[in-house]
Amino acid sequence: MATSELLSLSLIPGSASGRGRLLPTLLVCGLICGSSILAGCDGGTATTTPSDVYANLGISLDNLDGDETAIVSKTKDDVHVLAFWATWCVPCTGELAKLQGIHDRLKDRGLNVYAISIDGPDTISRVPGFASQENWTFPVLYDPETALLARFNPKGDIPFYAVLDADGNILKSHQGYVKGDEVKLEEFLTEQLPAQ
């Protein structure tokens, strides 16, 4: 007997054969519906992004407060500079001082700068005070195991920066810092960002 026949027999009022099959039929229907609902559940985390986010770049690191910070693009025109540094790296701090000025001039056009510290266990406690002393207004994040640095720069040398578009594609990367590098970087970023 087909399921549709079973259902129609079970739901005929006053039917002798229907009364005996009503409960088993309802149980079967419940199992079918329940398994259909559960089939859509994978137990994973939600992958939707909030409506004010254009793209999640799949990069999350702890900030100075120990909270996880996801690097996201709010618009299709956003550009991100991931600047890797350490408290003991003098050229890094010189580069970040120049990046602060670039950030101040271009942030309203969609530039996002992140100072990503690779300080390890011996020096990581110096990062908050150092960042405060430098008056950086962009986020300072931690990459103590250098996993993110290795993704963009397998050598692991710093200072190093990677420029990403709104979708996370690498537009430019640069190893080292000498005075004047920031001029070329600002010209490049100005070309990438929408005109104001």
Q: What is the CATH classification number for the domain harbouring 122?
A: 3.40.30.10
Query: Strand, coil or helix: what is 92?
Result: helix
Give the model's pLDDT for residue 196: 77
Residues 33, 70, single domain; the answer is: no
Give the model's pLDDT for residue 50: 64
Residues 31, 104, single domain; the answer is: no
Q: Burial, 66: exposed, middle or buried (Cβ in 10 Å; 0-12, 13-18, 19+)?
A: exposed
Residues 75, 165, single domain; the answer is: yes
Give the model's pLDDT for residue 4: 43
Identify whether 48 is part of a domain.
Answer: no
Question: For the whole model, what pTM was predicted?
Answer: 0.74
Residues 33, 82, single domain; the answer is: no
Question: What spatial distance separates the first Cα and last Cα of the chain, rounded to whole Å?
Answer: 72
Residues 71, 157, single domain; the answer is: yes
Identify whether 148 is part of a domain.
Answer: yes
Residues 74, 168, single domain; the answer is: yes
Tokens read off for 91: 């050229």
Identity of the amino acid at 38 = L
Identify whether 46 is part of a domain.
Answer: no
Give DSSP secondary structure letters for 105-125: HHGGGTEEEEEEE---TTTGG
Is the Cβ–Cβ distance between 143 and 61 less than 8 Å?
yes
Give the model's pLDDT for residue 5: 43
| Domain residue limits at 31 | 3-39
Is the Cβ–Cβ distance between 95 and 161 less than 8 Å?
yes
Series of mean pLDDT values for 10-residue runs along the chain (196 residues): 43 47 47 43 45 92 96 97 98 97 98 98 96 96 97 96 98 96 97 92
Number of domains present in the structure of the chain: 2
